[in-house]
Amino acid sequence: MIVEALQGAPEALTHREKLLLVVLAEDANDDTRITWNSVERPEVLRGAKVSRSQLYAVLKSLTAKGALTKLSAGQKNGSAKYKIATFETPQCPKIPDAERPPQCPGSPDTDDTQRPENPDTDGEAQCPENADTDPSQCQEIRDVSVPESGTPTPLYPSSTTPSASRQEAPASDAHGYGIPEAARPLVDGLTAAGVIVRWPFKGNGWFPVLALIDKTGVPAMVDHAVKAASRTPVDSARYFIRGWSELPPLPLPGAHRPQLRAVSGGYQPFQCPPESAYLNDQGF
């Protein structure tokens, strides 16, 4: 679909529209031609070189020009879905190449160096008796870029398609239950403190929580949640978001606790005054 978008997209598309179409084609399902993920992902904005406000203007233009079809709008629990149109590539069988094939029987090679009577000028470096000087390609030395399964690992795997995500996901993530690694200390801290709540965040919904962890720190967030849960029953972690956002940021590096002024005479424990201090002038 990337090749189709590059070679067969409508001529009326602008450079920005064509670039966004290529980015969406890279993310779409090859069979259904429908996008997998949200079009608002940072990868899409960065790849298409557009802002979030510009994104929807370009999507609207692509839809009007027939390059995209909007199947569903974005909702709270799902992202908008777009289907990429089918384009005619310029190299289809009914449009032959304008350039005559140079290797057809009627067009002999003009280079005489490869005729039978002309031997190779490159010595015999690749003759059977002359092995490659690079030992990395010998049969007994396996190419480290190819796993034992025989399937090469792509140099730049895409992080947007489900197949690439499954390849990149570590084995330990099988028990992550969709919780980002950076948020796991907060989740575990609340659970260990006896605050058992739901974590209804999905995908980009974790971004505010991760930002608060970077700003405030896990210990302060756990302490606030424990105090809040002791005052009222809490069912979802969303209840703590507003309180977490009002917590102070972590102290700057090098900040020290202010020194307290010493009291003259030192610390004196409380002593009950004598009984005479409670008597009034009437002799009681």
Instruction: Write the pLDDT tens digit of every residue in 6-47.
Output: 887 888 889 888 888 888 888 888 888 888 788 888 888 888
CB distance 88 to 8 below 8 Å: yes
Beta bridge partners of 10: none
Predicted confidence at residue 162, as pLDDT, reads 47
pLDDT of residue 81: 84
How do residues 131-165 score in pLDDT, each as one tens digit? Answer: 554 544 445 555 554 555 555 555 555 544 444 44
Task: Specify the DSSP class assigned to residue 222.
Answer: H
Mean pLDDT of 46-72: 86
Report residue 36 CA to chain centroid gap: 14
CB atoms within 10 A of CB 14: 12
User: What's the pLDDT score for residue 112?
Assistant: 53
Question: What number of other Cβ atoms are within 10 A of residue 68's Cβ?
Answer: 23
Kindly state the average pLDDT of the residues 267-283: 67
